[in-house]
Structure formats: structure tokens, C-alpha cells
């Protein structure tokens, strides 16, 4: 299976910004939908934002107006621009791809996770 490699996490003060990136390790036939999820300690993993290959986006209410998901289909890469960060955004962020291989195999796969910590 293709691997997803995340980068861009770190420590930032409240009100600051971070940009997360997630890239597939090799070319696939198509990535139908990208998703960004986050998981705080003791909580479930929740969807933050998603985007289809055609550019249709969805956001959790808690991040609308602050976060923007985008993708570069040619680079098999998805981004999450996070602005006006709040302490409650602190979590491990995971990217997910719903993809199809040239072989015809269809599956979901996850990135390794990247820590985002927002200080008050």
C-alpha cells in the first residue's frame, strides 16, 4: 500500500498559524477524497476537513472560517492551513486518503500523525 507522509506540526501560540502537509509516497491512479482528522488525549478521532479530487470541501463546525484544506492532484499532496489557532485545537493530526491503485485496488490509508500544540 502507498504510504502517506505528514509534516508541518509543531508548537504555536494561540492566534498563530501552521500549515500541515501530507504527501503520498508514490503515484497512484487517483485519490478520490482526502481527509484531515485529529485526536486529543482521551478523545475519539474526529474529522476536521475533507476535500474531493474535484475540490468539494467539508469542515467541522469548530474549524470553519479558520482552517482551509487544499490539494495538489499532480503532486498527490493535501494541505491544511490552520489560522487563528486555539488551545482546543491541540491534538495529533492525521491525514487520510481514499484512493485507487493502477491495479484497481481501492482502499483508505492513514498518515503517521503529527502533533499540533497550541499554547494559551
Q: What percent of the chain has pLDDT over 90?
A: 96
pLDDT at 73 over 90: no
What integer best gives the mean pLDDT of the chain? 97
**The pLDDT value given to residue 67:** 98
pLDDT tens digits, 12-68: 999 999 999 999 999 999 999 999 999 999 999 999 999 999 999 999 999 999 999
Q: What pLDDT does residue 86 have? A: 98
Convert the pLDDT of each residue in 80-109 to its tens digit. 999 999 999 999 999 999 999 999 999 999
CA 72-76-79 angle, 5° bins: 55
Output the CA angle 3-103-94, nearest 5 degrees: 25
Q: Does 77 have pLDDT greater than 90?
A: yes
Amino acid at each position: 500500500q502507498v504510504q502517506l507522509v505528514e509534516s508541518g506540526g509543531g508548537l504555536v501560540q494561540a492566534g498563530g498559524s501552521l500549515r500541515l502537509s501530507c504527501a503520498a509516497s508514490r503515484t497512484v491512479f487517483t485519490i478520490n477524497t482526502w481527509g484531515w482528522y485529529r485526536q486529543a488525549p482521551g478523545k475519539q478521532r474526529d474529522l476536521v476537513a475533507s476535500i474531493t479530487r474535484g475540490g468539494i470541501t467539508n469542515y467541522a463546525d469548530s474549524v470553519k472560517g479558520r482552517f482551509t484544506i487544499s490539494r495538489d492532484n499532480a503532486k498527490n499532496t493535501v494541505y491544511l492551513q490552520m489560522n487563528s489557532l486555539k488551545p482546543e485545537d491541540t491534538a495529533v493530526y492525521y491525514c487520510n486518503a481514499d484512493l485507487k491503485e493502477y491495479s484497481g485496488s481501492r482502499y483508505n490509508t492513514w498518515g503517521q500523525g503529527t502533533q499540533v500544540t497550541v499554547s494559551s
